[in-house]
Amino acid sequence: MNSEKHSKAIDLSHHFSEVAKTRKPSPLKELSKYFGRKDLISLGGGLPHPAYFPLSGLSVDALVPDSFALAPAEHSSSLSWLWKLLGANTSPKEKTASVYIPKYSTDTNDINLAAALQYGAAVGQPQLQNFLRQFVSQVYQPAFEDFTTLIHTGNTDGWCRAFGSFCNPGEGVLMEEWNYPSAMAAMLPSNIRPVTVAMDGQGMRSDALEKVLSEWDEEVRQMPRPHVLYIVPVGQNPCGTTMKSARKEQIYDVCVKYDVIIVEDDPYFFMQLGDYEMKSVRSPFTSHSSGRDQAARFVSSLEPSFLRYDYQGRVVRLDTFSKTIAPGSRLGFFTCNPIFAERFERQGETSTQSPCGFGQSIVTKILTNWKYDGYIRWLQGLRTEYAQRRDFFIDCLAEEFDLQAAPAPAGIWEGCLTYQAFSNRRISNTTEKSSPLFSFVPPNAGMFVWLKLNLERHPSFTSEAEGTLEFKLWTLLAEDGVIFAPGWFFPTDDVATSDVGAGHFRISYSNAEYANLKKAVTVFGRVIREFFNEQN
Amino acid sequence: MNSEKHSKAIDLSHHFSEVAKTRKPSPLKELSKYFGRKDLISLGGGLPHPAYFPLSGLSVDALVPDSFALAPAEHSSSLSWLWKLLGANTSPKEKTASVYIPKYSTDTNDINLAAALQYGAAVGQPQLQNFLRQFVSQVYQPAFEDFTTLIHTGNTDGWCRAFGSFCNPGEGVLMEEWNYPSAMAAMLPSNIRPVTVAMDGQGMRSDALEKVLSEWDEEVRQMPRPHVLYIVPVGQNPCGTTMKSARKEQIYDVCVKYDVIIVEDDPYFFMQLGDYEMKSVRSPFTSHSSGRDQAARFVSSLEPSFLRYDYQGRVVRLDTFSKTIAPGSRLGFFTCNPIFAERFERQGETSTQSPCGFGQSIVTKILTNWKYDGYIRWLQGLRTEYAQRRDFFIDCLAEEFDLQAAPAPAGIWEGCLTYQAFSNRRISNTTEKSSPLFSFVPPNAGMFVWLKLNLERHPSFTSEAEGTLEFKLWTLLAEDGVIFAPGWFFPTDDVATSDVGAGHFRISYSNAEYANLKKAVTVFGRVIREFFNEQN
């Protein structure tokens, strides 16, 4: 691994797809050398006058950056916690500070609606660009200096622009065996196909990646060797795995060897939650330092982005504000080399154009008002909140089931400690130990618990019936008012994937009220015991 | 023409492209029959909790609907008008009413940020859907009853979803000879090619369309007969032409005969400005009625949408809030048959997803607060403002040049009265009448004046030098601080287009301050007279 800081990305423009090569900048931009003049009168563009925007200003009641504690409050039982949090949806006690976005501003450094709501360059508001550049430098620390940030309308848009810029129809993208379904749904209509790589408890395996690439046979595979890799390295969707730095370096080196572009889709980066510990042994969360020191320690505690190892500029990082501000902001950003960024910008110009000016101006105003340290503090608070939600949900499972730790077998959890869930209604004098109902690895990042159902226990189990049984159990749960995401949403393809058909549920602890998380687990317990003919 | 109201669109699903056919709904949506239950606990989606959206509310200082007069104020000279309007950018005197968008609302009919900022269905906020349905019924009056509205992130996104849903690579789209460049820039990378149709003073000619379609030869053209037509029928970009209802009916009937889908891109619908009259003869603008009557009279005064004649459901209408609210809203909507809408929705789900929730909630709150009549009143005010800007700009031309009316020759202005602009610095005792410097038709809609330069007058004119001379004059103007959009941006292709190479400028009167419009015309006068060796 090459750890020194490089001044420039290498030229990787040979990766561009035929379509990407045809996109031209708008001619008015070509002529923009004249536009630097202060006294220029442009009657060139079809712009409405800002006096006709029907707003004189926007006032945003923004939450303060330290709205959420860095450490969970002491709680004696999950029930007291429950009641405390129960009313959150109806009577929020939010500490806010109001910020105002005027239509006109005499200080051109201030965000103003006259500019933000006008037709804008696809690169977005300059104040946001400035904030993002500082943010990326300090948090992700790319290994090359001429990195570029470019806003997009969320990571799905970002991913569409990435595969659209790199892949011709008929080509393949390297992906983990289990995957975020929208990433595939977006590329399949363009006849861009997934090529699966085996996973373990950290996500994609570097040895499996090397094997796929080194043994590639164009004729057998009926496509050229893939030159694009898509990965969700933190809080993998759906498996919840997180890749550590050594694995990222190994994967990066394989990608250098085989000249592969890495698209790092990383919405859960700041939701690195730490390991789950059983409630009985959980150590109290302590946080003594504060301010800049606190921010730096938090950032350095996170598994780094692929950008940290990217001395060549072959990583396209996708960040989104969907999890850290709100999904409806429809705002995110690329970090990548400037040659890639230029193509992504061209593609934006003829599709989504610039992200919404309302969203851009509000998010920018909040961020610039909070400043870098404030935003990091906000993210730390969010991290603590989601860690509590994760802990609470698994505590509920521990109350509803008899959880027993066991080392994971080979496969997607290799290297992790799994929990096997047994019915806790077993009659005490039964001597025969039954097999578990399901097993899981507590996620150390993201929003999801990925359950593997032990369908072999079911009386009507045959290997053909696996998918059917998963759907049957899913339906029983839905009829009792609980929706999990069924496993059959998530395999990348149905040939090579290990664990396919074993029966899985992806359960999100990120959104429901605590009382409902508890209730859902209770319903799940009753339904799965019935399903497996256990006592209730 | 079939004028009765039809209950259902016909099935036109055979128009779908191969790509469009492959797009599937998300499985969670498929399972949504369970989601109607009020007591359902969903742990299925990866949604953040709304408590973590860092806003408790948004206060919008919205302009009142009657912010702009229905009739221009009396003014004795353009100069007094100038000074009155000069300060608009720095000290706006805007009449506003504040509306508040809370994070949480007990009334589910109210727009709230907890819903608007969450991951949303691509169909958008229900309150906006309701408003749009009423709006389309009353304003556009589609000739079939099961029309559907679906929001998108602006007409460029809408057009991308339309050609992506209908056109396979290698197919062609029927377009006018002069065109909005981004419409072509968006489709060319997918190898979808323009097929030009001749224009006159109303835009696309129906006889020319019939001729192209009836004489289509797949072998000569090397593509199948086009089944999609793209048109900007009001305030055509760049020519400023507007199509009247009889022509729309004729084109619709040709499209029925040859089974062609019409994509009506209509950003300037409410900027139907009426005819320009020379200042000396201009009749005072009067407006006596008010309220609902006024709204109805305004709407019925506008040339109708293609939807009015669309008894089969073959029109895809693209509306945008870019010109009526603000470009940065990145919000617009389709009106079309429900089968098309379903495909556009699927395409949205895997690209832009739902338009920005900040923008959606703010625009929806303004519209629902104003109500239908208020929004129509706002649009009328805008219409008057843009009519004044158009009149002022042409008045400036009339002051700077000697304008003489003349009937248009055959070609893109056929059927219109043109103005020929002569230098007004001609020495009075010169007996020889010189030829005009340029000519134009005052637009009766939109934002643009389309000038045809009389390059033959230039000493170094040859037919080869036309493009060069246009660019030379453009550069002289830019060096003197005035930017027009040069004609070479706009031809649909460079083979069949009449008037190509004649030299054109597209001039926008929509955005600059009045003083700058005046100044730009003065600079233009001096530069073009020098260019043509006229006296200054």
User: How does pLDDT run across A342-357, given as a tens digit for each residue?
Assistant: 999 999 888 878 899 9
DSSP annotation string for B281-330: GPPPP-----HHHHHHHHHHHSPPPGGGG-SSS-EEEEEESTTTT-GGG-
**Does residue B385 carry a pLDDT above 60?**
yes
Residue A462, token pair as written in the block: 């045959």
C-alpha B457: how far from chain center? 34
Q: Give the pLDDT confidence score for residue B350 in this predicted structure.
A: 83
**Across chain B, what does the average pLDDT equal?**
89
- Residue A525 CA to residue A341 CA, distance in Å, equals 49
The whole-number average pLDDT for the span A168-178 is: 95
Q: Under an 8 A CB cutoff, do A39 and B378 touch?
A: no
- Find the closest chain B residue to A99 by CA distance: B58
User: How does pLDDT run across A251-309, given as a tens digit for each residue?
Assistant: 999 999 999 999 999 999 999 999 999 998 887 665 556 667 888 999 999 999 999 99
User: How does pLDDT run across B214-250, given as a tens digit for each residue?
Assistant: 999 999 999 999 999 999 999 999 999 999 999 999 9
The whole-number average pLDDT for the span A216-244 is: 96
**Does residue B112 carry a pLDDT above 70?**
yes
Residues of chain B contacting residue A49, judged by C-beta atoms under 8 Å apart? 88, 385, 389, 510-511
How buried is residue B535: exposed, middle or buried, by Cβ count under 10 Å (0-12/13-18/19+)?
A: exposed
Residue B461, token pair as written in the block: 């004119």
Q: What are phi and psi of A127, to 5 degrees?
A: -65, -35
Closest Cα to residue A331, out of A120, A164, A175? A120
CA dihedral sign, ordered B377, B378, B384, B387: negative
Residues above pLDDT 90, as percent of chain B: 70
Beta carbons of B57 and A61 less than 8 angstroms apart: yes
A89 touches chain B (CB under 8 A): yes
Q: Under an 8 A CB cutoff, do A43 and B482 touch?
A: yes
A264-303 in b/e burial notation, b at 16+ Cβ within 10 A?
A: bbbbbbbbbbeebeeeeeeeebeeeeeeeebbeebbeebb
Q: Under an 8 A CB cutoff, do B358 and A40 touch?
A: no
**Across chain A, what does the average pLDDT equal?**
89
Q: Give the pLDDT confidence score for residue B1 in this predicted structure.
A: 47
User: How does pLDDT run across B1-19, given as a tens digit for each residue?
Assistant: 455 678 899 999 999 999 8
Output the pTM of the full model: 0.93
DSSP annotation string for B222-255: TSPPP-EEEE--SS-TTT-----HHHHHHHHHHH
Beta carbons of A131 and A290 less than 8 angstroms apart: no
Closest Cα to residue B168, out of B219, B218, B228, B210? B228
Beta carbons of A332 and A29 less than 8 angstroms apart: no
Enumerate residues 198 to 257 of chain B having a beta carbon within 8 A of any beta carbon in chain A.
237
Confidence of residue A456 (pLDDT cuts 50, 70, 90): confident
- Residue A224 CA to residue A170 CA, distance in Å, equals 8
User: How does pLDDT run across B419-445, given as a tens digit for each residue?
Assistant: 999 998 865 555 555 789 999 999 999
**Strand B55-63 and strand B96-102: pairing?**
antiparallel
Confidence of residue B306 (pLDDT cuts 50, 70, 90): very high
Q: Choosing among A31, A37, A42, A43, which should be mutated to test the B contact, i.e. which has the most B CBs within 10 A?
A: A43
Beta carbons of A268 and A446 less than 8 angstroms apart: yes
- The half-sphere exposure of A24 on its side-chain side, counting CA atoms within 13 A, is 11
| A·B CB contacts under 8 A | 378
SS3 category, B81: helix
Q: Which is higher by pLDDT, B30 or B331? A: B331
User: How does pLDDT run across B364-384, given as a tens digit for each residue?
Assistant: 999 999 999 999 999 999 999
- The half-sphere exposure of A123 on its side-chain side, counting CA atoms within 13 A, is 15
Helix (H) and strand (E) counts for chain B?
Answer: 15, 19
Q: Under an 8 A CB cutoff, do A350 and B156 touch?
A: yes
- Find the closest chain B residue to A23 by CA distance: B189
B36 touches chain A (CB under 8 A): no
* Crossing angle of helices A357-400 and A291-300, rounded to 10°: 70
Q: Choosing among B330, B488, B518, which should be mutated to test the A contact, i.e. which has the most A CBs within 10 A?
A: B330
Q: Under an 8 A CB cutoff, do A350 and B478 touch?
A: no
**Does residue B500 carry a pLDDT above 90?**
no
Q: Choosing among B52, B111, B187, B232, which should be mutated to test the A contact, i.e. which has the most A CBs within 10 A?
A: B52
Q: Give the pLDDT confidence score for residue A119 in this predicted structure.
A: 87
